[in-house]
């Protein structure tokens, strides 16, 4: 399709169609302009953020990070009181805490300091 043909479909002058193409190539096009171009081309604009990993994997990683952080502070306090926990028990606590965090899966998982 030529820019003249695109301009006609968009209902703009040819120079505007060229400007739209240039903005798209530079990555500076607006969503509004993309929507208009999509409609003019009898297309549907799909704008999506797609996770790099499956969502359940991201949730599990965040839950594990948060659980380890919480257990670290507890382990430190217990060690100061000479009440250290066996490694196997600590691992079991970690596993259970991760499961609980995943069950809740609230916004706290996504705090940056987690």
Give the separation between CA 43 and CA 73, rounded to whole angstroms: 54
66 and 97, same domain (yes or no):
yes
Query: Is 50 part of a structural domain of the chain?
Result: no
66 and 101 housed in the same domain = yes
Q: Residue holding tokens 């060690």?
A: 79
Mean pLDDT of the chain: 85
- Give yes or no: residues 64 and 104 share one domain: yes
Q: Are residues 94 and 70 in the same domain?
A: yes
Rounded CA gap, 95 and 98, in Å? 5
* Residue 87 structural domain: 55-110
Output the pLDDT for position 76.
54
Q: Grade residue 69 by pLDDT with cuts at 50, 70 and 90.
A: confident
Are 63 and 28 found together in one domain?
Answer: no
CB of 33 closer than 8 Å to CB of 20: yes
Structural domain count of the chain: 2
């Amino acid at each position: 399709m030529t820019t003249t043909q695109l301009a006609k479909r968009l209902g703009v002058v040819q120079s505007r169609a060229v400007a739209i193409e240039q903005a798209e190539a530079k990555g500076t096009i607006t969503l509004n302009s993309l929507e208009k171009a999509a409609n003019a081309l009898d297309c549907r604009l799909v704008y999506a953020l797609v996770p790099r990993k499956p969502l359940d994997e991201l949730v599990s990683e965040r839950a594990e990070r948060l659980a380890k952080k919480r257990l670290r502070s507890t382990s430190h306090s217990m060690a100061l009181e000479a009440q250290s926990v066996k490694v196997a028990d600590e691992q079991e606590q970690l596993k259970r805490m991760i499961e609980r965090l995943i069950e809740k899966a609230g916004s706290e998982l996504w705090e940056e300091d987690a």
